[in-house]
Chain A
Amino acid sequence: MMTLSRVEAGSFRDRHSRVFYRSGTVFRGLSEEALTDWNTLSSTRFFPRLMAEGKLVRTEQAAPAELLNPMIAGEWAAVLTHQTIPFISYPYEWSFCMLKDAALLHLELLDAALAEDMILKDASAYNVQWIGTSPTFIDIPSFETLIPGTPWVGYRQFCQLFLYPLLLQAYKDVPFQPWLRGSLEGIEPEHCNNFISTRDLLRPGVLTHVYLQAKFQRTYSKTKRKVKSDLMAAGFTKNLIQTNLKRLEKLINTLTWTRSKSQWSDYADEHGYGDADHEMKQTFVREVAMSRPWGLVWDLGCNTGMFSRIVAEHARYVVAMDADHLAIERFYNALKTERNRTILPLINNIADASPNLGWRGLERKSLTERGRPELTLCLALIHHIVLSANIPLKEFTDWLASLGTNLIIEFVTKQDPMVEVLLRNKADQYADYEVGYFEECLAESFAVSRRLPLRSGTRILYYGTAKL
């Protein structure tokens, strides 16, 4: 009963609710005001329906005994419990289609809420999380009763965090992820307006949501009017919000990211080694995967995701990461068709993985702080890390060791054609990059139990368990 609760340090912006963790369960304390909204929400028709469809995180009110917990008692009027998200991720790690699907989910929720006179307080992309490829909205207290005559206050935020990033990538082929990682509030209307050309004004959504929004923001930023009450007096209705939502839905549905293939996204077709080797590699991974049940697994440099899939058959959850945006986009779309809930594809460059961001570096957590893997796949990756990103080999193996994970790793020798491509126009200053030294470094932190050279002679697979 008296187990300690741990407050979610990043959950502070909304003064009416706060997230806590205890014994692996997610709790949320609600103020009186938030409780009123919760009571309204839980009695709507859309709430249970969307929860059943997996679009809203499963939530229920906790027993009053929870309130006796000293950390919560006296502060909150009620406590909710939430389903746990297997692995938290952020919009700057999502591919184009993932952000697009998250945006469409947000609009769908707004539609459903408006039909029953509720609305969402804000429109943050950080309120959407994933269970595999299924997007789920997690910020339940964001639902509030719609006061008739009030506009959609989340519109601008929706544009900054959902629409503008999508437009940037769809219309300009500029990846939005670095921008979102650098600016947690998203892209400002004025900046979005600055990167569109006159010709872009003819493209869907630009004249209204970008150009006019930037203009209006500038024009009205210093207005003395109380816009909200003025709108109410002038007869603003929720109908106007619904019309806008339909436009946005239609617009976002048309947005696509067309791009020429990247060098590595055809990996599956041009893997650079014989089919026999490919079979051996799959067998190796499968044997390790089957050796015991796994909890969280990371596949670093997952590319097409073939090996993620193999491991996923014997793991609770697989986070598949790659720096190649197009590879993740294709993997996500393939998994989505299968309605996969076990594999989460994310964009992450291991040489520059997501850091701690936000207030005191607590709001958005670094990759390693969101969950440690029990098994890590590091296939055809080390040559990129050492030879392209210039990270010393020992530092990389040390980092892998720090995860406390078991490891499947593939060493790719300098004689390999793929490596020859990487070193083609570079001076070979990588004396540390050779098998003997690699095996030494590996053995320091891992108990290597399997070693398999592939027939090509340029690739060797290893499996090691973490040394504590």
Chain B
Amino acid sequence: MKPLTIFVSALVLLHLVPTPSYAYLDPGAGSMLLQLVLGGVAGLVVILKLYWHRLLAMIGIGKGKKDTTKSDTPNA
């Protein structure tokens, strides 16, 4: 159950990244989000809340919001 949660959480987070801007580097951001992956089911719930709209857009439901990106290719 636990490895599965990690797998799903990581999958979700790594594939719903917005197109990188050329904003100032923030090396801490990734580590903070990783804590959700390591937080088990509770973490997964938070991830889904964070990316709910994006997730919906991916599967074609919901209003076409301005901030949904055309591609979901992760950075790297």
Contacts of A213 in B (CB 8 A): 30-31, 34
Q: Report the Cα distance A234→B47, complex, angstroms.
A: 8
Contacts of B65 in A (CB 8 A): none
- Asked if A292 is at the interface of the complex by the 8 Å CB criterion, the answer is no
A215 touches B76 (CB 8 A): yes
- The segment from A217-225, A340-348, A370-378 found at the interface with B is A217-225
Contacts of A240 in B (CB 8 A): 35-36, 38-39, 42-43, 46
- Asked if B14 is at the interface of the complex by the 8 Å CB criterion, the answer is yes
B46 touches A236 (CB 8 A): yes
- Asked if A264 is at the interface of the complex by the 8 Å CB criterion, the answer is no
Closest chain-A Cβ to B37's Cβ sits at a distance in Å of 6
Closest chain-A Cβ to B9's Cβ sits at a distance in Å of 9
B28 touches A153 (CB 8 A): yes
Closest chain-B Cβ to A147's Cβ sits at a distance in Å of 13
- Asked if A239 is at the interface of the complex by the 8 Å CB criterion, the answer is yes
B76 touches A219 (CB 8 A): yes
- Asked if A244 is at the interface of the complex by the 8 Å CB criterion, the answer is yes
Q: Report the Cα distance A231→B36, complex, angstroms.
A: 9
- Asked if B33 is at the interface of the complex by the 8 Å CB criterion, the answer is yes
- Asked if B58 is at the interface of the complex by the 8 Å CB criterion, the answer is no
Closest chain-A Cβ to B10's Cβ sits at a distance in Å of 6
Q: Report the Cα distance A244→B13, complex, angstroms.
A: 17
| Range of interface residues on B (Cβ < 8 Å) | 35 or more
B18 touches A223 (CB 8 A): yes
Bitwise, B11-28 to A at CB < 8 A (1) or not (0) is: 001100110111101111
- Asked if A207 is at the interface of the complex by the 8 Å CB criterion, the answer is yes
- Asked if A151 is at the interface of the complex by the 8 Å CB criterion, the answer is yes
Contacts of B26 in A (CB 8 A): 220-223, 227
Task: Name the contact of B17 in the complex, choosing from A217, A219, A239 (C-beta under 8 A).
Answer: A219
B30 touches A239 (CB 8 A): no
Contacts of A152 in B (CB 8 A): 35
B30 touches A218 (CB 8 A): yes
Contacts of A221 in B (CB 8 A): 25-27, 29-30, 75
Dominant SS among interface residues on chain A:
helix
Closest chain-A Cβ to B41's Cβ sits at a distance in Å of 10
- A-facing residues in B51-76 (Cβ within 8 Å): 74-76
Q: Report the Cα distance A218→B74, complex, angstroms.
A: 10
Q: Report the Cα distance A319→B35, complex, angstroms.
A: 39
Q: Report the Cα distance A212→B22, complex, angstroms.
A: 23
Contacts of A220 in B (CB 8 A): 17, 26, 29-30, 33
- Asked if A235 is at the interface of the complex by the 8 Å CB criterion, the answer is yes
- B-facing residues in A147-171 (Cβ within 8 Å): 151-153, 155-156, 159
- Asked if A179 is at the interface of the complex by the 8 Å CB criterion, the answer is no
Q: Report the Cα distance A212→B13, complex, angstroms.
A: 11
A234 touches B50 (CB 8 A): yes
Task: Name the contact of B14 in the complex, choosing from A189, A215, A237 (C-beta under 8 A).
Answer: A215
A222 touches B14 (CB 8 A): no
Q: Report the Cα distance A243→B34, complex, angstroms.
A: 13
Q: Report the Cα distance A153→B37, complex, angstroms.
A: 15
6 nearest A-B residue pairs (beta carbon) = A216-B30, A240-B39, A156-B31, A217-B30, A220-B30, A234-B49
Contact surface of B with A, Cβ cutoff 8 Å: 6, 10, 13-14, 17-18, 20-23, 25-40, 42-43, 45-47, 49-50, 74-76
- Known interface pairs A230-B50, A244-B39; 8 further A-B residue pairs with C-beta atoms within 8 A, sorted by A's residue number: A213-B34, A216-B34, A221-B25, A222-B26, A223-B26, A225-B18, A234-B46, A240-B43
A-B contact pairs, 19 of them (CB 8 A): A156-B27, A159-B31, A208-B6, A208-B38, A213-B30, A215-B14, A216-B30, A217-B30, A219-B17, A219-B30, A222-B22, A222-B75, A223-B18, A223-B23, A225-B29, A227-B26, A234-B49, A235-B46, A241-B35
